[in-house]
Amino acid sequence: MNYFALIPAAGVGARMAVGYPKQYLPLLGRPMLRHTVEAFLRCPQVAHTYVVVSAEDAYVDEVLPAGLAGVTVLRCGGATRMESIRNGLRLLAEGAAADDRVLVHDAARPGLTPALVDKLIAEAGRDPAGGLLALPVVDTVKSTRRGSVATTPRDGLWLAQTPQMFPYALLMRALEEAPDPDAITDDASAVELLGFSPRLVEGHPRNLKVTLPTDARIAEMYLSMDTEQ
């Protein structure tokens, strides 16, 4: 069984308002995408890393130059995250067996570490339903869905992270058969629609998704801790 990383990186990250795709935002002097990719390059269990970008991406060649060992850039990004993942999976078809595992990871989660990848593989690497990193909810949860404020029990609630890891054939089927791909917010939800229950593996707060400028500062804090060790 092989483990492949697939990083969709075709988005524009409009909420960051930096004038270019947020995956290229410098963090500690290096583009966010480079931090993300290198987490997988430091994982011996990951056979190869694929990065999906848009056909017109003008930045990736400098960040991930041709010939970088262990990485292949796929210029097949779509209009949505799910479309980019599906396009990337189709290009993997010749080199990935049905039972090989694909670890889909957000380009904007630069705080991923090899230890977290190893933990996910160790705890869910052979689960036929796959698995994902997630954090149990610890704060009190409030809801306004019914027009007034109400407290929702947090027992059993988790915040999904990435990587989300599934057998190649299962993930391909889940995304191809999803009734409304644009309504799917993560890969696990597509797999769940097929009746599978992916395993939840506890992640770490450092694996946050950089969406707003304040998130970038938090990510840099965690990354700076790595450089100090």
Residuewise pLDDT in 10s, the chain (229 residues): 999 999 999 986 555 556 789 999 999 999 999 999 999 999 999 999 999 999 999 999 999 999 899 999 999 999 889 999 999 999 999 899 999 999 999 999 999 999 999 999 999 999 999 999 999 999 999 999 888 999 999 999 999 999 999 999 999 999 999 888 667 889 999 999 999 999 999 999 999 999 989 999 999 999 999 865 5
CATH of the domain at 99: 3.90.550.10
Closest among 72, 75, 62 to 10, alpha carbons compared: 75
Closest among 125, 68, 65, 69 to 99, alpha carbons compared: 125
- How many of the other CB atoms lie within 10 Å of CB of 175? 20
Considering its fold, how many domains does the chain have in total? 1
Predicted confidence at residue 181, as pLDDT, reads 67
Predicted confidence at residue 11, as pLDDT, reads 81
**Token pair for 169:** 């054939």
Residues sharing a CB contact under 8 Å with residue 11, sequence separation 6 or more, in sequence order: 21, 22, 23, 81, 107
Judging by DSSP bridges, how do beta strands 101-104 and 158-167 pair with one another? antiparallel
Predicted confidence at residue 20, as pLDDT, reads 82
Residues sharing a CB contact under 8 Å with residue 49, sequence separation 6 or more, in sequence order: 4, 5, 6, 7, 37, 40, 41, 70, 71, 72
Exposure string of 42-64, with b = 16+ CB inside 10 Å and e = fewer, is: ebebbbbbbbbbbeebeebeebb
DSSP symbol at 19: S
**Token pair for 138:** 């610890």
173 membership: H or E segment, kind and range: helix 168-177
Predicted confidence at residue 15, as pLDDT, reads 57
Rounded CA separation 169/97 (Å): 8
Q: Do the beta carbons of residue 167 and residue 99 sit within 8 Å? A: yes
Predicted confidence at residue 224, as pLDDT, reads 95
DSSP symbol at 205: G
Domain span at residue 155 reads 3-228
Residue 49: strand pairing partners: 5, 71
